[in-house]
């Protein structure tokens, strides 16, 4: 295509903006932006298709900065491209409530696709975006209508490369033959501890070949723009493999400290910035300057992108004529609306129905709604038969060449890769056409803690089907029995942790999970059978907490979740028969949702004047917020048949009754006992 001085000027502009912004904020990472400015310019100005005036165009090329600490690179580009990011926003880099935080945040900044920074996450998000593209293409493209064919580009550095999550994601991406995924590896030989030869000497190119990737190498990523472009185009042409470009660059290119870790995580010194500006032909006395020619070539590129989107819209109009249903479906999905009346398919139960394990109840939900909610795309981290995450008619999402499924398949075989699964779900959700869910044992959602945290922070609707939710899993033993897991994710802001007690609560969990567009859910499900409860209805359960068993003049409220609610109900009779005590029972399947109810309602569930006892077979942490006393398991579990294990730890009607009696006794002389729902002040939210 031929590169000119204006291209070089643009590249140096980006480098200097990164130096200026980190200097002004006295914090941040100038090195990677300065090293990757050339490839970023080639990509954003010559290669990618996007319309900066509409950052939600579904067929735009996606860009993910997995080395998110290099965010000044992304912010500079978004500004040049014409996204809603002003020069003042760049000047506010890393200041409170700016659009330019220390790492890119998708919900804050126009044009940022996913929230990155925690290393390896962005790369796995990119795999998710590429899966979503291939899947949407498989579903919506028709002969003559290639509606969905965008590329996903991802920058990543040595840090991402070392993280296990990136290995998992690379392996599954290779298996899935994601031809539209192009990762660009900033091979600058520097990480925070110095030269990568101190800890990272593997052959990265060979490793990616072993995963089934196509690999290109660019020897001079600092200057050879044509080689960068050629490599990207070669990768675009490889349609049956994801591609990785090993791009050799010098970190902090142009700085007096270029090529050292001195430019990685600290601003350049004032005199260094001056020499940089002088060397690049900029006025050393000015900051935050973009030459008009640079704006011009980006404006031109933006206009091309707008035209491309317009063409695409015309194609979609034509498509709507011949493929009416698909067009309407795509439109609906992109608007984020569920199909009208879908919730009528949620199963409902009555207490006379047979007891069922909640993992099975979850399977029944998926079986019942998969047809009416076509955007539901799920999978499991190699525990399909245990998580029960697959509806009977499901087709696997697989490259047709494997003979195991096709691109429109809605069931993903994630392999034993929980962390990547979590981050891939974040990418899937970010694409816009899919609602992802993924299964594993509750205990192993912890392997994916880094990804779940970003689901919550970036406000993504991802759903974890987390079976084998307690010591009730039995013989697998303490290595597999969660104790701290619910407390962990309940403490995470904007994350719904559900632990349904029966059929209607399971349906409610799915209802709220699917209708909460900006919050991830973890649905903790039992391996053992559970009875259906008397007051459990969809409308009660979607409040997050409700009275399962009411009683006049109760001596105590027993509050529980999941498999223990049924035992608590049995304890009511035991308490009456053996201790002449009257107990009410409350189920709180989801703290986050219960907390959002009006105080009046919460007080009706957990009223003043009655002592309360929580019962849950895991850490009691967090239960003090709802109950006066707590019966739980603040130790590891045991390997054995589930009934033996429950008995060992006294999670039986007798065991509960023993603690209930102690609780009643302990509070009998306390006048005007307050419900823990009453607080002295409101928390900041």
Annotated binding site for thiamine diphosphate: 69, 117-119, 159, 188, 264, 444
260 binds its own copies (CB under 8 A): no
Bridge partners for 494 per DSSP: none
Q: Which of these segments, 138-146, 308-316, 363-371, 656-664, binds its own copies (CB under 8 A)?
A: 656-664
What is the C-alpha to C-alpha distance for residues 165 and 30, in angstroms, rounded to an integer?
A: 25
User: Judged by CB under 8 A, which of 450, 516, 551, 654 binds its own copies?
Assistant: 450
Which phi and psi (to 5°) does residue 478 adopt? -60, -25
What is the C-alpha to C-alpha distance for residues 90 and 198, in angstroms, rounded to an integer?
A: 35
Instruction: Report, in Å, the least distance between residue 177 CB and its own copies.
Output: 10
User: Judged by CB under 8 A, which of 82, 111, 117, 374 binds its own copies?
Assistant: 117
Provide the 3-class DSSP secondary structure of residue 399: coil
317 binds its own copies (CB under 8 A): no
Q: Which of residues 615-634 bind its own copies (CB under 8 A)?
A: 619-622, 624-625, 628-634
Provide the 3-class DSSP secondary structure of residue 466: strand
Q: How far is residue 361 from each of residues 323, 368, 502, measured CA to CA in Å?
A: 35, 10, 8
499 binds its own copies (CB under 8 A): no
**Which are the contacts of 626, defined by CB distance < 8 A and separation ≥ 6?**
559, 588, 591, 606, 612, 614, 676, 677
Beta carbon nearer to its own copies, 45 or 557: 557
Can you give 541-592 as a three-state secondary structure string?
A: HCCCCEEEECCCCCCEEEEECCHHHHHHHHHHHHHHHHHCCCEEEEECCCHH
Q: Which of these segments, 270-278, 485-493, 543-551, 566-574, binds its own copies (CB under 8 A)?
A: 485-493
Q: Which of these segments, 22-30, 333-341, 523-531, 598-606, binds its own copies (CB under 8 A)?
A: 22-30
What is the C-alpha to C-alpha distance for residues 493 and 159, in angstroms, rounded to an integer?
A: 27
Q: How far is residue 97 from each of residues 26, 89, 142, 168, 530, measured CA to CA in Å?
A: 17, 10, 44, 34, 47
418 a catalytic residue:
yes
348 binds its own copies (CB under 8 A): no
Greatest C-alpha distance within the chain: 90
Instruction: Report, in Å, the least distance between residue 455 CB and its own copies.
Output: 12
Q: Which of residues 149-208 bind its own copies (CB under 8 A)?
A: 158-160, 162-168, 171-172, 174-175, 191-193, 197-204, 206-207
Q: Which of residues 85-114 bind its own copies (CB under 8 A)?
A: 94-98, 101-103, 105
Q: Which of residues 416-435 bind its own copies (CB under 8 A)?
A: 416-417, 419-420
599 binds its own copies (CB under 8 A): no
Beta carbon nearer to its own copies, 64 or 338: 64
What is the C-alpha to C-alpha distance for residues 583 and 568, in angstroms, rounded to an integer?
A: 9
Instruction: Report, in Å, the least distance between residue 635 CB and its own copies.
Output: 5
Q: Are 385 and 442 in contact (CB under 8 A)?
A: no
Hey, which bits of 492-539 come out as E strands? 496-498, 521-524, 529-530
Sign of CA dihedral 324, 329, 334, 340: positive
Provide the 3-class DSSP secondary structure of residue 394: coil
280 binds its own copies (CB under 8 A): no
The 8-class DSSP code of residue 91 comes to H
404 binds its own copies (CB under 8 A): yes
Beta carbon nearer to its own copies, 191 or 675: 191
Bridge partners for 154 per DSSP: 64, 183
User: Judged by CB under 8 A, which of 241, 410, 602, 659 binds its own copies?
Assistant: 659
Binding site residue list for Mg(2+): 158, 188, 190
Q: Which of these segments, 242-250, 489-497, 579-587, 602-610, binds its own copies (CB under 8 A)?
A: 489-497
438 binds its own copies (CB under 8 A): no
User: Judged by CB under 8 A, which of 4, 54, 402, 539 binds its own copies?
Assistant: 402
Catalytic-labelled residue, pool 309, 418, 505, 629: 418
Beta carbon nearer to its own copies, 52 or 111: 111
596 binds its own copies (CB under 8 A): no
Q: Which of residues 130-159 bind its own copies (CB under 8 A)?
A: 158-159
Q: Which residues are catalytic?
A: 418
């Amino acid at each position: 295509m031929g590169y000119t001085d204006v291209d070089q000027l643009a590249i140096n502009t980006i480098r200097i903006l990164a130096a200026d912004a980190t200097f002004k904020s006295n914090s941040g990472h100038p090195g990677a932006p300065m090293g990757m400015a050339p490839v970023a310019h080639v990509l954003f100005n010559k290669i990618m298709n996007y319309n900066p005036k509409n950052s939600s165009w579904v067929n735009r090329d996606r860009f993910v900065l997995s080395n998110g600490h290099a965010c000044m690179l992304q912010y500079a580009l978004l500004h040049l491209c014409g996204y809603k990011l002003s020069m003042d926003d760049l000047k506010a880099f890393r200041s409170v409530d700016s659009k330019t935080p220390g790492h890119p945040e998708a919900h804050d900044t126009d044009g940022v696709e996913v929230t990155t920074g925690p290393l390896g996450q962005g790369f796995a998000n990119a795999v998710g975006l590429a899966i979503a593209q291939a899947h949407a293409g498989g579903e919506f493209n028709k002969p003559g209508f290639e509606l969905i064919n965008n590329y996903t580009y991802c920058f990543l550095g040595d840090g991402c490369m070392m993280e296990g999550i990136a290995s998992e994601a690379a392996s599954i991406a290779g298996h899935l033959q994601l031809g539209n995924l192009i990762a660009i590896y900033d091979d600058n030989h520097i990480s925070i501890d110095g030269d990568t030869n101190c800890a990272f000497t593997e052959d990265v190119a060979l490793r990616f070949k072993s995963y089934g990737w196509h690999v290109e190498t660019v020897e001079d990523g600092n200057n050879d723009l044509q080689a960068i472009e050629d490599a990207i185009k070669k990768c675009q042409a490889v349609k049956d493999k994801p591609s990785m470009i090993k791009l050799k660059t010098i970190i902090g290119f142009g700085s007096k400290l270029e090529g050292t870790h001195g430019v990685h995580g600290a601003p350049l010194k004032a005199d260094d910035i001056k020499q940089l500006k002088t060397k690049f032909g900029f006025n050393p006395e000015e900051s935050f300057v973009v030459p008009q020619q640079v704006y011009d070539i980006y404006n031109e590129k933006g206009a091309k992108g707008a035209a491309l989107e317009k063409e695409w819209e015309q194609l979609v109009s034509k498509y709507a004529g011949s493929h009416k249903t698909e067009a309407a479906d795509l439109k609906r999905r992109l608007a984020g609306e569920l199909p009208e009346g879908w919730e009528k398919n949620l199963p409902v139960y009555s207490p006379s129905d047979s007891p069922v394990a909640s993992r099975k109840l979850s399977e029944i939900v998926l079986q019942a709604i998969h047809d009416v909610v076509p955007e539901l795309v799920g999978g499991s981290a190699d525990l399909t038969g245990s998580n029960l995450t697959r509806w009977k008619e499901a087709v696997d999402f697989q490259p047709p060449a494997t003979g195991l499924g096709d691109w429109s398949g809605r069931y993903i075989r994630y392999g034993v890769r929980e962390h990547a699964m979590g981050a891939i779900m974040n990418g899937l959700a970010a694409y816009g056409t899919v609602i992802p869910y993924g299964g594993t044992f509750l205990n192993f959602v912890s392997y994916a803690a880094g990804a779940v945290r970003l689901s919550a922070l970036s406000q993504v609707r991802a759903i974890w089907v987390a079976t084998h939710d307690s010591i009730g899993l039995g013989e697998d033993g303490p290595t597999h029995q969660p104790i701290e897991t619910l407390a962990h994710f309940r403490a995470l802001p904007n994350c719904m942790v559900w632990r349904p007690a029966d059929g209607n609560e399971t349906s409610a969990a799915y209802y709220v999970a699917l209708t909460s567009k900006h919050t991830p859910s973890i649905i903790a499900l039992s391996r053992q059978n559970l009875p259906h409860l008397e007051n459990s209805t969809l409308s009660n359960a979607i409040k997050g907490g409700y009275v399962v068993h009411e009683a006049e003049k109760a001596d105590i409220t027993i509050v529980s979740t999941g498999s223990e609610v049924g035992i608590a109900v049995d304890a009511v009779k035991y308490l009456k028969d053996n201790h002449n005590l009257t107990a009410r029972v409350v189920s709180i399947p989801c703290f986050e949702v219960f907390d959002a109810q009006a105080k009046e309602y919460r007080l009706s569930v957990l009223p003043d004047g009655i002592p309360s006892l929580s019962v849950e077979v895991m850490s009691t942490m967090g239960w003090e917020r709802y109950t006066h006393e707590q019966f739980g398991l603040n130790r590891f579990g045991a390997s054995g048949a589930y009934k033996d294990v429950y008995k060992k730890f006294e999670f039986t009607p007798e065991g509960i009754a023993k603690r209930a009696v102690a609780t009643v006794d302990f509070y009998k002389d306390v006048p005007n006992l307050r419900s823990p729902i009453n607080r002295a002040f409101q928390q900041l939210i």
